[in-house]
Amino acid sequence: MISVSNVTKHFDKVHALAEVNLDIAAGEFITIVGPSGCGKSTLLRIIAGLVSTNGSVMKPAKGAFVFQDAALLPWRNVQKNVELLMELESVPKAQIAEKARSVLQQVGLTGFEKSYPHQLSGGMKMRLSLARSLVLRPDYLLMDEPLSAVDELTREVLQEEIHTLWNKDKFTAILVTHNVAEAVFLSNRVVVMSPRPGEIIHIVDVPFGDDRNQKLRSTSKFTKLVSDISGKLRTWK
């Protein structure tokens, strides 16, 4: 479980977050949406421990972060990028290559082990970033708009792949995005934030099961929920 209590944040004269409280169950997938500048990414970084706060955050010890930029090491090939965290965590050498190959297979990068980041498409770079984050089997995964730089078709494919990965291992997932349809497709709950100073104004349950696929996007229930959440956002613009 992740518990966020009375989280506030000021940057000099900017009041970024105001009294944010949120409990996230183990194995839950939630998405945070809100207008630009409302503090979504700041909240994610506070949960990660990258930014300080006057409030408190309780979370499992083992987490991972996927940023907008895949942040790959250009001098290491695909497999070596995945192996890096295992090397830093002193995973036995005999296990490192096998674990890397396994997670690369999960994200569809088998056959690209010897390729370098500059040889990969945007979608492949994000798959590699996900593989690197998941190889140590974290208890929770934080994602800050990881799909914002890819085209719409690739984005939908990657959404399905992220859902499959989460559905397999049931790590706790927190995603920040501006894309409401993405939030609805991936989440158990969607957290809607107000303009700065950001606070939670709505938490919307997503009534779809674990079987999420392309057909879901065209259903009336899906499009209505996307419209309803978009409407909640528009009332604050």
Kindly state the percentage of the chain with pLDDT values over 70. 99
Question: Could you give all domains of the chain from N- to C-terminal order, each with its CATH number?
Answer: 6-62+138-237 (3.40.50.300), 74-137 (no CATH)
pLDDT of residue 188: 95
Q: Which tens digits make up the pLDDT trace of 128-173? A: 998 999 888 899 999 998 888 788 888 898 899 899 889 888 999 9
Task: Render the chain in DSSP notation, one character per residue.
Answer: -EEEEEEEEEETTEEEEEEEEEEE-TT-EEEEE-STTSSHHHHHHHHHTSS--SSEEE--S-EEEE-SS----TTS-HHHHHHHHHHHTT--HHHHHHHHHHHHHHTT-TT-TT--GGGS-HHHHHHHHHHHHHTT--SEEEEESTTTTS-HHHHHHHHHHHHHHHHHH--EEEEE-S-HHHHHHH-SEEEEEPSSSB-EEEEEE----S---HHHHTSHHHHHHHHHHHHHHHTT-
What's residue 117's pLDDT? 93
Please determine, for residue 236, whether its predicted confidence score (pLDDT) is greater than 70.
no
Reading the block at residue 136, the tokens are 């140590």
> What's the number of CA atoms in the CB half-sphere (13 Å) around residue 29?
24
The DSSP bridge pattern shows strands 189-193 and 200-205 to be: antiparallel
Tell me which of 205 and 93 has the higher pLDDT. 205
pTM, rounded to two decimals? 0.91
pLDDT in tens, 5-51: 999 888 888 888 988 999 999 999 999 999 988 889 999 999 998 99
- Asked if 188 contacts 30 with a C-beta cutoff of 8 angstroms, the reply is yes
Peptide bond into 197 cis (omega under 30): yes
Is residue 237 scored above 80 in pLDDT?
A: no
CB neighbours of residue 235 within 10 Å: 10
% of the chain surpassing 90 pLDDT: 52
For residues 93-105, average pLDDT: 89
pLDDT score, position 223 = 94
